[in-house]
Structure 1
């Protein structure tokens, strides 16, 4: 982003998203569709992270939470509306209509960005010498992410191959770290790799992303297997959480500032832990109402965590580095989504084969709750150490 400037990257990403969405609608075969969607994923990555940095650039530290909250609400609107609109379009005219809808929406976004001259508030590096991209670092990062995603999704085909894929991902990360510490213009700069704040935020983002994605993957299977609900009923139930997030994002964002963000990150994690506990315990006792209660309770905690965690990172880096930091947070979230959909989904499926869906659901979310508890304790301990250090310096 620093090479071309945020405005140009954002506009280019929207244009690429528009073109690839149209190509998806026109594609003649599944193989071509997968390839085009892979390219569209690169554009989607930029669209996911750049607005986060833009909010912090345009608003003061005290008001940034008020911007990050609605940003989370907008994301929730898309999460809730996407499956509903897609289902209506697929039933009415077929799956290609979904891609035409995406192309039209992104085209309107392109026009809006042109009218606002980019819209991120980022500066374009006009007149500056362009930096050469870190090709080696980018390649190694891609190898690590693809190997990890393949291992989680079961692409290895056997436990031995899965271990090999995880070993490849680990080796790629080790080599990447060594290269990045010596590269003149690294993809992951030293200030990013060496920041305990960023490392902690990235780790938490992976955990939370996995938790949220697991609800979207495990929930429908469980509701169908355990309660015999129809796809329509499942869709309506699954939309309740994102709809709650719409309201929660606006409300919780108002409390997030540069000073309160670290503490609210812990509160958001704890809130999510309570919600997951309600899922694990309430669903077996109350059935569908228990499931709804857990997912609806989970939404405000997630929105609070996201706004506070993003704020903590963006406040810890200079303005010209916020795009890179936001990009790393986006990568961490996507890794969490892969982990939640593949790894936790696989755990649920294996337990289901041995017992039943209800037991598998309770065991899976009991384990998730334990992971969140560890995250809360670790985050709270880090916050306590930071405040003690600050107090000592002030004295």
Structure 2
């Protein structure tokens, strides 16, 4: 490999972008196979949906830990190990003999996906100057969008031509190429070296409690088997786990969720925004295949092509919008990105019933630039507010928030859509679901604008 610093940085940036692409294909490709997997198992869409939700649960529980390990052991080492684990679990998914095994392995795969999704954000900030970081984060956004676009297309073609298991073999090949690229460019990023031998072990108790809380929350959001009492009980378990988690974290020598970080108003706002946006984006991936199949009778290949149009727009939008994001402009552009997404979801809710598939395409394509602008600006706001040796931890918190949003979109919004569709029809369920999402985004935009007006401060410094 060339020793020219610019060439080394470019190759390493390519490797980090490929990590983001791989992680996102692991999320976006699988929803397209859900109807086929449902037919293979018991015909229940709810069971099939857990193949997506399990992956998100793994990402959610492990996200903060991989950020900490990246700071501690070096991001190069953790990323390479995650790529190898992702490859192995993808192969096991392709060979799964039952839905239960498939769901369990997908949860482990989600843990590997967490590292591939979280650590590149901090690594890019280490690799580039402050002035160029916005462009680097925009490139990561485009790489994520490329994965979102490629996943449904590849999955649709493979399901039609070979079968759903071929999708997981494709994921194995993709993650193997990621491992090779990471190994070839290893050491090309500043700030990826370990900071020293750990004085304290990772917070295993906190990680376990977080996983219990998120699992109970996801099960409750997913309908809890149609039992309201069970849903309330699961929510009570989630709340109890969070209360115990808070008590443990306040005494932990190396907490999973550092109080010094979450005590920042800047970080708290960014986390809340990330949860909302993650739910919106995941809902389009989970609801889209069922709706396009039920309401319009489309085949998996056609569904994949239609679902790829919005993410393809994101590929370009991520690079373009990232150029406008700096430490000074990030807070205002975060509000603009949220407002843009609110308009797009309104178009989706209103346009699809009137225009059919063209209305669906218009809404998802319009959603893409707003999402990319929000992601680059929100990430920049947080990363500029924390010390350099804590950016991995901050990126892990952002990843945790995004993953909780993804779980909400898959479990809660997916459940709302399926329940309303079962009582009425897919078109009505689509309008009801995205009408509610549009209202939530409107409230989020208003709250964010009020906070920005009150503070008029681009970042809040965080110090330990």
Using the size of structure 1 for normalisation, the TM-score is: 0.92
Q: Secondary structure at the match of 2:257?
A: coil
For the 8 Å contact 1:7–1:121, the answer to whether it is kept is no
Offset at 1:270? 0.3
Q: Equivalences for 1:155-170 in 2 at 5 Å?
A: 155-170=224-239
Offset at 1:23? 3.0
Q: Verify: 1:216 aligned to 2:305, yes or no.
A: no
Q: Verify: 1:116 aligned to 2:185, yes or no.
A: yes
Rounded to whole Å, the distance in 2 between the matches of 1:388 and 1:202 is 18
CA deviations on 1:44-70 (whole Å, 9 max, x unpaired) are 111110001111111122221101111
For the 8 Å contact 1:3–1:131, the answer to whether it is kept is no
Q: Secondary structure at the match of 2:456?
A: helix
In the other structure, the counterpart of 1:88 is: 157
Rounded to whole Å, the distance in 2 between the matches of 1:369 and 1:127 is 47
For the 8 Å contact 1:198–1:313, the answer to whether it is kept is yes
Identify which of 217, 238, 242 aligns with 1:148: 217
Rounded to whole Å, the distance in 1 between the matches of 2:246 and 2:124 is 30
Q: Secondary structure at the match of 1:3?
A: helix
Identify which of 40, 44, 47 aligns with 2:109: 40
Identify which of 327, 334, 344 aligns with 2:403: 334
Q: Verify: 1:261 aligned to 2:340, yes or no.
A: no
Offset at 1:253? 0.9
Q: Verify: 1:104 aligned to 2:181, yes or no.
A: no
Ranges in structure 2 where 5+ consecutive residues have no aligned partner: 1-68, 460-464
In the other structure, the counterpart of 1:303 is: 372
In the other structure, the counterpart of 1:76 is: 145
Using the size of structure 2 for normalisation, the TM-score is: 0.79
* Aligned CA distance change for structure 1 residues 378 and 107 (closer, same or farther; 3 Å): same
Structure 1 range deviating more: 224-233 or 179-188: 224-233
In the other structure, the counterpart of 2:363 is: 294
For the 8 Å contact 1:144–1:168, the answer to whether it is kept is yes
Rounded to whole Å, the distance in 1 between the matches of 2:431 and 2:215 is 31
CA deviations on 1:221-251 (whole Å, 9 max, x unpaired) are 3333333434333322211111111111111
Rounded to whole Å, the distance in 2 between the matches of 1:28 and 1:223 is 29
In the other structure, the counterpart of 1:192 is: 261
Q: Secondary structure at the match of 2:443?
A: helix
* Aligned CA distance change for structure 1 residues 143 and 238 (closer, same or farther; 3 Å): same
Q: Equivalences for 1:267-278 in 2 at 5 Å?
A: 267-278=336-347
Rounded to whole Å, the distance in 2 between the matches of 1:319 and 1:45 is 21
Ranges in structure 1 where 5+ consecutive residues have no aligned partner: 391-395
* Aligned CA distance change for structure 1 residues 280 and 173 (closer, same or farther; 3 Å): same
